[in-house]
A = this chain, B = another copy of it.
């Protein structure tokens, strides 16, 4: 069956959540949002492009930092209201320079930092 992006269920702001997962390690790197156009750019270019809600602009991941995400495989969930992006990530995915945005665990009511910022190479 051919994929029709119009069958996706975008929210009232025209957005759909997109989870980025490292294709090699399975690590969940980040969650951000896409609109129909940023998804089309991602598929067309193979470079993951989100929609920045704060800037109301396209956010080609790594455009300024060099921490590019390359799309390896695109997945759609059963309800068609969430995307899973299997990606290759150059360097850190997080703006704090950590590999993943999910670097804080909550254990016994305490916040535990699981990883520090990556060193510049």
Identical copies of this chain, number: 2
Q: Does A10 count as interface, using CB distance less than 8 angstroms?
A: no
Known: A1-B110, A3-B106, A26-B27. A101 touches B73 (CB 8 A): no
CB distance from A56 to the nearest CB of B (A): 16
Q: Which residue of B lies closest to A76 (CB)?
A: B104
Which chain B positions have C-beta within 8 A of A21?
28
Contact between A96 and B78 (Cβ–Cβ < 8 Å)? yes
For chain A, residues 26 to 49, give those with C-beta under 8 angstroms from any C-beta of chain B.
26-28, 30-31, 43
Contact of A77 with B by CB under 8 A: yes
* Chain B residues within an 8 Å CB radius of A60: none
Residues 45-87 of A at the B interface (beta carbon under 8 Å): 73-79, 82, 84
